[in-house]
Amino acid sequence: MSRVHSFVTLVILAFGISILAAPLAVQAQEIQDPHAQDKADAMRVAQDWIAQMDSGEYAWCYNNSAEYLQSIITLQDWNTLVTSIRQPMAELLSRELVDIQYSTSLPAVPDGEYVVIILRSSYANKAEAYETVTPMRDTDGQWRVAGYYFR
């Protein structure tokens, strides 16, 4: 067998193996992260919710949050708290995802389904801040934000 023929055979074999391995890689990713869809769904909810926060729509955020959040703070207290945190920061300059984790148990909250999303943000009056947005699967099965932490 000539060198060229051997090389072509190796390339064809390598190509064939890579085509066969592609579906296996997708299956491996699904096995590695069985909560990928939960994280994607929770992330969409969190993005919509935090966009409303950025617009100053704090009452909307409260009214569209999980029953759990609404059970631990009133709308009036929520508005006071969030206003005191967000207004001094001024305009949002940037935000990027740092981490996203699925969990069924978090400190100081009832067990359930949670997705903890950590964002690195930059504001006009705060060069670097971290925001944690935590959607949970609510009593009706929908993902809703149950927690927001700013540091």
pLDDT bin (cut points 50, 70, 90) of residue 22 is very low
**How many angstroms separate the Cα of 23 from the Cα of each of 13, 19, 20, 28, 117?**
17, 8, 7, 9, 29
Averaged confidence pLDDT in the chain:
86
Write the pLDDT tens digit of every residue in 60-97.
999 999 999 999 999 999 999 999 999 999 999 999 99
Q: Is 139 helix (H, G, I), strand (E, B) or coil?
A: coil
Percent of the chain, pLDDT > 70? 79
Q: Residue 62 in contact with residue 78, Cβ under 8 Å?
A: yes
Q: Which two tokens stand for residue 11?
A: 């390339």
Q: What is the C-alpha separation between 58 and 40, in angstroms, rounded?
A: 24
pLDDT bin (cut points 50, 70, 90) of residue 12 is very low
What residues does 122 pair with on adjacent strands? 94
